[in-house]
A and B are shown apart, each in its own frame.
Chain A
Amino acid sequence: MSATAAIVQEGSKKPAREKLFRTGGAGDISKPTVGGLVFRYVLLVIVLVLVIGPFLWQLSTSFKGAGENLYTFPPNLIPTQPTLENYTKVTDFIPVYQYAWHSLFVAVVQVISNVVFAVFGGYALACMKFRGKGIALGILFSTMLLPGEVTVTSNLLTINGLGLANTLWGVILPGAIGAMNVLLVATACRMIPAEVLDAATVDGATTWQRIRHIVWPNVRGMVSVVAIFTFIGAWDDYLWPLMVITDPNNYTLTVGMAYLNSNFSPDPRLIAAGTIIALVPIIILFSVTQRFFFSGVQEGAVKG
């Protein structure tokens, strides 16, 4: 740690262009001192190492050749015999790329259905008057505090009864529409002025046209949040696919990785390759859409 600390200290000694810190006798006491600023960066880098260190170590392990000793000390972060063969050898144990497709399929179908029905439902709840709205809201809110784990046993019976045991559709179905998503989009729909919708109606717009041309452009921000969190939830889910799918050929990626880990006790390099395969789509999604994450968590925190 001392090495990184030294680098940071050196790095921040460069004169800052805009004064980030308090200089002698300056008035603004809310600015930190130079020492305070350096201390802050040192802490940030320490946390950074703790956060991405494990990921980097896994990445490094996944590139290490079969002949390379994994257990040296001090550890080699840079592989001495870099290779990609772990990414093909892992398929000798589990069809990891097929599992990735399964996960992707589940995630994409859930994103589409959640977005479509959240927009429809949210619009109806927020902008329309109808008989029984209280009942609809009551049902949507009723299970807000119900942990999913409580209902897995019964849901499994339902899925088996529908003949969807051991299928990806069985994995998809219960999460295809989330009550929370409907309510989130409904709050976004409430921001649409009623006059605009009325004006469209007077001009002869149908319900579909109003959703397509007025509601959709107005709620796109919230829809992105819903889509991203649905995708991640589906991609990362473990308990439910583990219960629904019993045939190793149909596993999703998370279940398949746990299966690889506990049934074959294979080379750590192969597990590492598998985990990196599981991480890549998430990393891509995250780097493209990261600005939505923070707003999403905050929406969820305020409303949830």
Chain B
Amino acid sequence: MTTASTSERSLTRTGVGASGAGLRRRSGPVQSHRWYTPWLLIGPAVVWVAVFALWPFLNTVVLSFTNARPLRTPEFVGFDQYVKLFGDDQFRYALLTCAIYVIVCVPLLTILPLLLALLVEKKIPGIAFFRTTFYFPVIASVVVVALIWGWLFDSKGIINQTLQFMGIADKPVAFLVDRWWLLACAILLTVWKGVGYYMVVYLAALGNVGKDLHEAAMLDGAGAFRRFLSVTIPSVRGAMLLIAVLIAVSAMRIFTELDVLSHHTGGPGGYDMSIVMMIRQAGSGLNGNLGYAAAISVVLFLLTLIPLVAIALLNREKRANS
């Protein structure tokens, strides 16, 4: 929120950029363009956002108060869809699934990438190769990653073979069939795929940390762990908060991992269905219940606002204190 408003302000302040602060850009002597040219240039983007993001959002909110279905005139039904939603067991499972996702992913994906960033931070021979390779899972599609891990977690797959060989399990573990194992596998692959991305974000943040702080701490006799706690963590605190919020939001929106690993079913009995899987199920096809899908969408939107509001409040508090 804050980043958005600051860059908006600086964007409107045209011409101050590189030409020296305080120098106003004249609109007088050089008439550079006709009045409608800027709108020809920016128009398509504005129309697109309005048509494919702003309007559908408003439409979703409106639909959520109707009983809309494909090929039928919708009627206003007030809060019926929401009442139905909160009485729906399926939605309760979906909330639980997403809540577990958030609770597990946020700490893992906040800490692991930082450790990885510290590991690849030093410029030692071959480090560029390691950095690049660690980033690779990020750009592979989630579907592909889910299929790869689906094969690893197969009842006869390499992980089960290894477990049985080592005597940890005497029969194959039902990784992709059991409700909790399926969720654990999905989380594992989200983390595996996400670590490289946040590693790069942390690398940028670590680049801004002065070397002298570390040296000073070292001279004072601080060990590696002590320096991690007292120098590294405080200096990347901002990035950490941002990353935690990004992860929380994207964990609520989880879809592909669970969908592919469970073959579209949401696991046994639909226990592992996520909120977005419910949106898709209700919102597509000729039997779709659009009003219901819209209500779920609105709830999802409100849920994703929670971490954003939390970080905004936290930042404001910090500013008030300092």
Contacts and interface: CB of A to CB of B under 8 A. Distances in A.
Contact of A133 (B38, B196, B255, B297): B38
B290 A153 contact: yes
A146 B215 contact: no
A298 B41 contact: no
B132 to A, nearest CB: 5
A261 B259 CA distance: 11
Contacts of A303: 3, 7
A283 B197 CA distance: 16
Contacts of B77: none
B42 interface: yes
Nearest to A175: B52
Given A202-B30, A238-B142, A139 B54 contact: yes
B41 A143 contact: no
Interface string A181-218: 01100110011111101100110000100100000000
B103 interface: no
Contact of B253 (A75, A127, A149, A173): A149
Given A47-B134, A130-B38, A154-B294, A37 B124 contact: yes
Interface in B154-175: 154, 156, 158, 161-162, 164-165
B53 A58 contact: no
B165 to A, nearest CB: 5
Given A121-B45, A149-B297, A183-B7, A143 B139 contact: no
Interface of B: 1, 3-4, 7-8, 10-12, 14-15, 17-19, 25, 27, 30, 32-33, 35, 37-42, 44-46, 48-57, 59-60, 63, 116, 119-120, 122, 124-125, 130-137, 139-144, 147-152, 154, 156, 158, 161-162, 164-165, 192, 196-197, 200-201, 203-204, 211, 214-215, 218-219, 239, 242, 249, 253, 255-256, 259-260, 263-264, 276, 279-280, 282-284, 290, 293-294, 297-298, 300-301, 304-305, 308
Given A128-B14, A137-B11, A139-B49, 18 more contacts: A30-B218, A120-B42, A141-B4, A144-B4, A153-B283, A173-B52, A192-B17, A193-B18, A201-B30, A207-B37, A238-B259, A238-B260, A243-B283, A258-B259, A278-B143, A297-B201, A298-B200, A298-B203
13 contacts: A40-B124, A55-B148, A130-B39, A133-B12, A150-B297, A151-B297, A186-B11, A193-B18, A207-B33, A238-B260, A257-B147, A268-B151, A293-B135
Interface pairs A-B: 6 shortest CB-CB: A154-B56, A236-B141, A262-B263, A153-B283, A124-B41, A143-B53
